[in-house]
Amino acid sequence: MFQDTRPAQLDAAAGTDAWAPFRIDHPGEVLAMLRRLRDGSVPVILNAPAGAAVTTTLWTLDDRRSHLGFSVPGNEAALEVLVDGDEAVAVAYLDHVKLQFDLDDLVLVHGARDRVLRTAWPVVLYRFQRRDSYRVRTLERHAPTARLRHPAIAEMSLALRVLDVSSGGCAILVPGDVPPLEPGLTLHAVRIELDGDTRFVASLLLHHVTSIPNADRGVRIGCEWTGLDAAAARALQRYIDQTQKRRRLLALD
C-alpha cells in the first residue's frame, strides 16, 4: 500500500485518528524533513487529483513566507493539469521511508532564466515505513519486555529486556545467569510488552547470538517474528513509527 509512488488514501480513515501515529506536524520536524528533500535533490512525485503526475525536485524553501519552490519538470501537459487543479499530493522517499504531504495554491512563477512551481507550505507530513526495513531501539523508560517460560525449564519464568524491534523481528537481552537459549529454537506464546499501549503475543524464532562486552550482562539474541497476527502487526508498526517520531523530537530539543 505504501511502497509505490501513488499517495495513500488517507481519507479512507475519515472520522478517526487512525493516521495519527504517522503524522508529522511539529514545525521544526516538518522543516527538517523538507530540508532533507531539498539538500538531497530527492525525486518528488506530484500527483494531481485527476491522476496526472510529474516528477520534480524541491528547489527552494521559504519558511518565512510559507512557500515551497519546485523545479519545473519537462512534462508540460501534466504540469498544466497540476496548476489548473491548484492542488497536489507530493510523495517522496527518504531511505526506506515514504513521505506524503498535500500541496495547495500551485502557481507557475517565471523568473529571468528559470521557472519555479511555487506552492503553499505544508503544515502536516505523513511518513510510512516500508516493512522489514528499519529497526528502532526501544524506549527504556517503558521497560519493554518479552515474557515467556524457559523452553528447557518449564517452571522458570523469564522477563527479558527487548533491546530493539522491527516489523520483521526483535532483539532480546538474555542475562548471564539464565540457561542458554539456542539459535534455531522457536519460542511460543511469548508476551511482548513494549509500552502501555503495545502488547501482543507472538512466537520468536531465535537467530543470531551476540556476546556483550561485559560478560555478566549476558548475550543479545536476534529473533524473527513468526505467527504474528494482523492486529499485532499493526500495533507493532504503530510503535515503530511513534518511537522514531519521539526520537526525532528529542533530537530537535
At residue 193, the pLDDT reads 95
Residue of 132, 142, 156, 149 lying closest to 236 (CA atoms): 132
At residue 61, the pLDDT reads 94
The C-alpha atoms of residue 141 and residue 138 are separated, in whole angstroms, by 9
The C-alpha atoms of residue 163 and residue 160 are separated, in whole angstroms, by 9
Q: Which residue segments constitute the domains of the chain, with CATH numbers given? A: 10-129 (2.30.110.10), 135-252 (2.40.10.220)
Reduce the secondary structure of the chain to three states and give it as a string. Answer: CCCCCCCCCHHHHCCCCCCHHHEECCHHHHHHHHHHHHHCCCEEEEECCCCCEEEEEEEEEECCCCEEEEECCCCHHHHHHHHHHCEEEEEEEECCEEEEEEEECCEEEECCCCEEEEEECCCCEEEEECCCCCEEECCHHHCCEEEEEECCEEEEEEEEEEEEEECCEEEEEECCCCCCCCCCCEEEEEEEEEECCEEEEEEEEEEEEEECCCHHHCEEEEEEEECCCHHHHHHHHHHHHHHHHHHHHHHHC
At residue 182, the pLDDT reads 87
Per-residue pLDDT tens listing for the chain (253 residues): 334 555 666 655 444 466 776 788 888 888 988 998 999 888 888 888 777 778 889 999 998 889 999 988 766 677 788 888 888 899 988 766 788 999 999 988 876 667 889 999 999 998 876 544 566 777 777 789 999 999 999 899 999 999 888 888 898 999 988 998 988 899 999 999 999 889 999 999 998 787 765 545 678 898 989 888 888 988 898 888 888 777 666 656 5
pTM value > 0.85: no
